[in-house]
Amino acid sequence: MKRTNQFDVHPRSAKEREVFVRWLDASASLWNETNYARRQAFLEDDESVWDADTGSLEGKYKGVLSSSVAQQIIRKNSESWRSFFSSNEKFHAGKLDEKPSPPGYWGNEEDGRVLRTYVRNDQYTIEYGNRSRLEIPIGSELKDELGLNRNQRLRVEIAGDPKWDGEQGRLELVYDELADTFRAYQPVAIDDSRLDSLLASEEAALDVGANNLAACTTTTGQQLLYEGRDLFEQFRETTEQIAHYQSLLETQCESSKRIDRLYRKRTNRRNHAQDSLVRDLVERLYDEGVSTLHVGDIKGVLSTHWSPRVNEKTHNFWAYRRFINRLKDVCEEYGITVNEASEAWTSQECPECGERKETVRHEDSLTCPCGFEGHADLVASESFLRRQNNTIGLMARPVYLKWNNHEWREHHNPLSLAVETTANEEYTNQSTATRGNIALGDSDD
């Protein structure tokens, strides 16, 4: 079973940082040149992407990267192309709805790159202690600049406690532009028998939405709601800035450094919140003893167009497929099985009487002629869970979480039930309503 350790990397001096950035930048250059050669071959019917001269590219960059790192970049690019061909076959066989695209580039030198590289599992070492260190290979050109001999490797300080101990895999190093931090991800393989698991036979169901990014119900009676309106407003503000600066460009120009930086900032901010949400959610489920997480099929979400604003959220803002993939990766770390299943009608079905056609879904609220009123996303996650498992414990008050640009924090602001419920709630009501397990909202419009 695979697990992942995460560390922050801290070069010790300005020179060391400069070398580290050049090392990552050269990795992006090698990826881009390798990918360009293969994309050109892909466009020619009589050429194979595997005919690209990657050997000369390795020789071009090994003086900066080292031979082993250059080989890993090319190997990683090969893996991406194999994944693309596999997805392309599934698309033509009718097993995928969207046609996949060939692997993309890691940006360019003028407008900014994605700074990332990979180090083979036997080419790096980590020393833990009061001053933990990471040793990585660099090319002879960079060694000469730092005064290292041919047999030495670059040593940088790292911060973070290793959560998992086992056979180490290929190390990934990335630069987080938003946080101005270098990060290392170390996958390790551990024996299942070594897991100190808290998992029981509990289950959970997750409803992924637009206004509320995720609503979850567990068989232990726990309910979680992650609100996304502030994030979306930040997204829209940045989008408007991008549109403004695009309007100032000359007609022959398509972009600018400022616009590209805004695009990266928008994406990094979204990814940071998304990754933090997944980590927070999975850790809470692990503590509840959840071993199986049911997730709704995203096809229904992506085909729903309630309004242009919701369409922007579902297709441009939240990146559902990335979210699901990230969720699966983190659940794997904790030994939680992810089951994708249909959640049709769950957000329209009354949990009291089972009515579907006569219920009214007004954005976030769900009302029924029988008198039931509750939060539609929490209702959906509970109904979805009952379809998978009828045994649900006594429902606790929902936990409402908001993003503060760094982490997801709980908010406890009980509001009067007399206030009209609309989609744009500011806080989840923690008081008991009707069934004692559905959170109502208050309008902020």
Instruction: Give me the number of domains the chain comprises.
Output: 2
| pLDDT confidence tier of residue 442, bands split at 50, 70 and 90 | very low
184/206 same-domain check: no
217/175 same-domain check: no
82/113 same-domain check: yes
8 Å CB contact between 8 and 186: no
Domain enclosing residue 43, as ranges: 2-194
220/100 same-domain check: no
| pLDDT confidence tier of residue 373, bands split at 50, 70 and 90 | confident
430/323 same-domain check: yes
397/268 same-domain check: yes
Strand, helix or coil at 424?
coil
Residue type, 333: E
8 Å CB contact between 304 and 293: no
C-alpha–C-alpha distance, residues 342 and 301, integer Å:
11
pLDDT tens-digit series, residues 311-366? 555 556 777 778 888 898 888 878 889 988 777 666 677 877 877 777 777 767 78
Measured CA to CA in angstroms, residue 261 lies from 21, 111, 179, 311 at distances of 18, 8, 14, 24
422's tokens = 């609309």
- Write out the E strands in 93-201: 107-108, 112-113, 116-119, 125-127, 133-136, 154-159, 167-168, 171-176, 181-189
28/139 same-domain check: yes
Residue type, 175: Y
Which of 59-68, 84-93, 136-145, 260-269 bottoms out in mean pLDDT, i.e. has the lowest? 260-269
190/212 same-domain check: no
Average pLDDT, the chain: 80
